[in-house]
Amino acid sequence: MTTAKDRSTARTLADIFPMLGLIITAGPLTLRAITDDDLAALCDLAEEGIHPAEQMPFAFPWTDAPAGELARNTVQYHWRVRAGFTPAAWSLQLGVWRDGELVGTQGIETSNFLVTRTGETGSWLGRRFQGRGIGTAMRQAICAFAFDHLEATELTSGAFLDNPASLAVSRKVGYTENGVVRMQRRPGELALNRHLVLRPPQLVRGPDPIEVDGLPAFRAAIGLDPASGPDSAR
Ligand SMILES: CC(C)(COP(=O)(O)OP(=O)(O)OC[C@H]1O[C@@H](n2cnc3c(N)ncnc32)[C@H](O)[C@@H]1OP(=O)(O)O)[C@@H](O)C(=O)NCCC(=O)NCCS
């Protein structure tokens, strides 16, 4: 076993926890882990607004929290997601930067991925960055990553029927409709949520091919390439 004393260079957190070293680029977009240094900027973006107050695109209405509380909840959510990351159940919630500016998040969440080979995508952008094609491009990037580099067999998504932008992104990226479910959205409010499914041949790719850094270590971390020793994911 390699000990700290044997190592010629100090390890980084990404060496220990590979999702922190994963970087997906697609033209002007960069998708990478949200570090503690990014969280305050992400909270500012969320508190500036993601949707009109009377609407609610999220199944859990986290954006209804008042400012301050919303920021704390956002920080705790990202810490929780990171802390709960295991090969059996992982949620990869990446920040999205466009030309170096933080614009939102793009996630993929799954359990028992080695068996199911499926994952649910979810995303949001700060309002001032919406309607410019970024949502489509970041979804295309995460789907290409999951199919090309993680050997996913399908991806799913869901959007309320009164969220035309999200439904339009799913349609443009190639997802097909997979039923409608009745959900409670805000307390006491019924909302219809359309399920969507995408398989590799249907993916409509973006104009910019993706490039991935940190892939071998990330694949090992989710159990795709069995690790051969304690430091093999490095
Ligand atoms: C959903 C979201 C990520 C999409 O990102 P985006 O950058 O705004 O989307 P794009 O600009 O790539 O594409 C939006 C598409 O929706 C269409 N659209 C937007 N509003 C629409 C409306 N009211 N009716 C019909 N189509 C609409 C646009 O015309 C565009 O399609 P087009 O390029 O064919 O014209 C973003 O709007 C967002 O963060 N919304 C709030 C949070 C959210 O809804 N998250 C998803 C939860 S399921």
In a domain, 51, yes or no: yes
> pTM, whole model, 2 decimals?
0.95
Q: Is residue 68 part of a domain?
A: yes
For 116, residues 6+ apart whose C-beta sits below 8 A from its C-beta are 110
Which ligand 1 atom is at minimum distance from the Cα of 51? Answer: 41
Segment 130-159 shows an average pLDDT of 98
Residue 218 belongs to some domain of the structure: no
Ligand 1 neighbours, Cβ below 6 Å, are: 50-51, 57-58, 123-125, 130-136, 159, 163-166, 168-169, 172
CA–centroid distance, residue 121 to ligand 1 (Å)? 15
Q: Which long-range contacts (CB under 8 A, 24 or more apart) does 220-227 make?
A: 220/18, 221/17, 221/18, 221/19, 221/85, 221/87, 222/87, 222/90, 222/113, 222/114, 222/150, 223/87, 223/113, 223/114, 224/114, 224/150, 224/151
- Domain range for 79: 23-213
Whether 180 is covered by a domain: the verdict is yes
- What confidence score (pLDDT) does residue 6 get? 65
Q: What is the DSSP letter of 36?
A: H
pLDDT digits (tens, 9 = 90+) for 103-118: 999 999 999 999 999 9
* Domain assignment present for 85: yes
Is 166 inside a domain boundary? yes
Q: What's the pLDDT score for residue 1?
A: 58
232 pLDDT band, cuts 50/70/90, is very low
Residue 71 in domain: yes
The residue to mutate among 136, 173, 175, 204, having the most atoms of ligand 1 within 8 angstroms of its beta carbon, is 136
